[in-house]
Structure 1
């Protein structure tokens, strides 16, 4: 199968190993100037206020969303993180924007309680309703909020949906065995799930592909220096079933599910503990962002790899167990969150956005425009600066973004790595 996106295999050049520790003794004044330059020169900010979409990358604030085409309508499924966000007498408020960075909405509307379904589960609120296809145009952005929307409205507690051909064409939604939308593009091995189609249940063709995608390359790496990825992925297995049939996949990997009407989606099948990591090998893999290849080999070859991983973190913490525990909790907590936020064709922590999320934390500011995201970090001591991601077409991922890599990021990156390797991130973790 030809892959529409440029997914690069695992190629890590050991940049950290080749970077002398003397370079880590950075003049912080110079680093501050670099950070300011990255904000003002690399990505100049507009004078007018812009919407900050950083809440999209905070799981406690993010409204999850999925869709399904139903004849002349699109059904929208939402999961608000708060159980009390929608009292029965409230309406849903909708704004149609020409783009994420539009100054004012093109149209405002609302959906009364009688037109949507609501249920509460644990601490969350699930809502679903329909919008006419005639009112949705590819490229538009639809904002759904629990409070009235204006051009100055805060974006928190809102769902933001970009209208794409997939939005307008996909006639199924992934659900759990009870019929609740998964709102994610991964399932676990042996986790029962369904493809809930609109209309008659259709035959489904599933293909599992050879996928050996590696972790993201450092922000300063020139992609042109890396080997070209293979243009196609080999098919390892195929299976057929019908929509509405409970499906359980026993083999982890990257799948593509396609209905008889031609709509499809990528699906990542993961180990049973995902998005958390539990085995020693899983815990060692994300350390690629902080370690040399020799250090990781030593961890893998240790008689007790899990104990070796604990020792690695304890050494970074200069023997202080409380600091080591905080480092472990922060690092692997970010890995699990990145897996929830960014998993698509590979584990979320391996993606470009996942790499920055794990090492630098959630961004302070996110600006979105057509096909681009800007992530800003304001904490200079933990590698402040601005990073630009650009959307790339993908067979398996609805939202695939690649980092625009720059040599200017080198000092910023190694300053952030140094924070981890000296245990200092424990003082500033969030």
Structure 2
């Protein structure tokens, strides 16, 4: 265990934590876990090694919930900087915690810097699920470095690094979903019916540690029968970025009519038609058109990085708002709930409530609480895009 003796003064939360940094890819610390006997190993990736402040340890704190006022316990990982592995601008490290100190439903926060930063929304936060405390494997790249993501590209080589010798992995493949989120004002009758159960298309057994390449699909992975199954999304092409004409047209569902999208799909050169769509939106101003394209498809890529689970992140409820309104300016979390706040800017201010709806494929899934009063705000935001003068809240 790489833990110090702990801090003498218990952490106390600020009046209310703002978790908006969790939805800024350039500031977000990514966390994954693996069960190793009577311990849990935590893997962290910092988007920039500059976020690790020289001389400060890594502070680890455990809370009853995201909005808890007092810490259950706290400790430090000393000399964390010496254990860093550089990955370009990013940096990763790992360490172990005793399993006896952790419970399902509790929340870990991890941060470098002054001790009280582990109590702020800027820290890495992770609610402990049965998967976090029981899963005995992680995904790695072809040379054994942790991926710290639950998606890969079709044909991308990766490995399943299991704790324990001579273990096999059972993989069940399910069809991918292309169902986009309904608008925030949609009533219950407007929401498409969701299948209550998915049927596996096939299943294959692999040896843990072997080099794997999967075809596109949604997968459930299991190493041991007593462990919960873990979801893996496998997408085509350059995911999380989108490059093909069909991929570029699909996210326009939030800004266009079905007739407009059909015209784009049916065009002799769909990719050129997409460029022309944005040029028209920009009033034939090429610099503005390029900025709109960078902003919108940049948000698509970021949403895929942040929210992908049972389907591509831009298709999810949080991904939908992220694309059209941008990253939330303020995020509050309570037991089973998130609130995204946008300031009143050009008529687009509002608060959106998400409620946790975890599943086997997506243990961190949240669904938007849809309300009729969102209609004016939503159409005002879409109009900003359609007139080429999109405000960029939170940027």
Decide: shared fold, TM above 0.5: yes
SS at 1:235's partner residue? coil
1:269 aligns with: 234
SS at 2:273's partner residue? helix
- Segments of structure 1 that go 5 or more residues without pairing to the other structure are 1-47
What per-residue deviation string (whole Å, max 9, x for no partner) do you get for residues 88-108 of structure 1?
Answer: 754221111111111221222
1:132 aligns with: 98
2:385 aligns with: 420
What per-residue deviation string (whole Å, max 9, x for no partner) do you get for residues 105-157 of structure 1?
Answer: 1222112238984222211221100000110012211111112333895432x
What per-residue deviation string (whole Å, max 9, x for no partner) do you get for residues 165-198 of structure 1?
Answer: 1111111111111111111110011111111111
Q: Is the 2:107–2:127 contact (alpha carbons within 8 Å) kept by the matching residues of 1?
A: yes
Superposition map of 1:334-373 within 5 A: 334-373=299-338
2:376 aligns with: 411
What per-residue deviation string (whole Å, max 9, x for no partner) do you get for residues 4-63 of structure 1?
Answer: xxxxxxxxxxxxxxxxxxxxxxxxxxxxxxxxxxxxxxxxxxxx8311100000011000
Structure with the larger RCO, 1 or 2 (CA within 8 Å, 6+ apart): 1
Q: Is the 1:116–1:129 contact (alpha carbons within 8 Å) kept by the matching residues of 2?
A: no
- Segments of structure 2 that go 5 or more residues without pairing to the other structure are 1-13
- Provide the C-alpha distance between the structure 2 equivalents of 1:153 and 1:260, rounded to a whole number of angstroms: 35
Structure 1: which 4+ aligned runs deviate by more than 6 Å?
A: 426-429
User: How many angstroms does 1:236 deviate by?
Assistant: 1.7
What per-residue deviation string (whole Å, max 9, x for no partner) do you get for residues 304-342 of structure 1?
Answer: 111111111111111111111111111011001101110
- Provide the C-alpha distance between the structure 2 equivalents of 1:64 and 1:292, rounded to a whole number of angstroms: 36
Q: Is the 1:316–1:421 contact (alpha carbons within 8 Å) kept by the matching residues of 2?
A: yes
1:192 aligns with: 157
TM-score (normalised: structure 1): 0.84
RMSD of aligned Cα (Å): 2.0
Structure-2 change in CA distance of 1:163 and 1:338 (3 Å): same
Q: Is the 1:193–1:248 contact (alpha carbons within 8 Å) kept by the matching residues of 2?
A: yes
- Provide the C-alpha distance between the structure 1 equivalents of 2:185 and 2:268, rounded to a whole number of angstroms: 35
TM-score (normalised: structure 2): 0.92
Q: Does 1:170 align with 2:118?
A: no
Q: Is the 2:111–2:117 contact (alpha carbons within 8 Å) kept by the matching residues of 1?
A: no
Q: Is the 2:80–2:93 contact (alpha carbons within 8 Å) kept by the matching residues of 1?
A: no
User: How many angstroms does 1:261 deviate by?
Assistant: 3.3
2:218 aligns with: 254
- Provide the C-alpha distance between the structure 2 equivalents of 1:73 and 1:373, rounded to a whole number of angstroms: 30
Structure-2 change in CA distance of 1:289 and 1:140 (3 Å): same
SS at 2:109's partner residue? strand
- Provide the C-alpha distance between the structure 2 equivalents of 1:429 and 1:104, rounded to a whole number of angstroms: 29
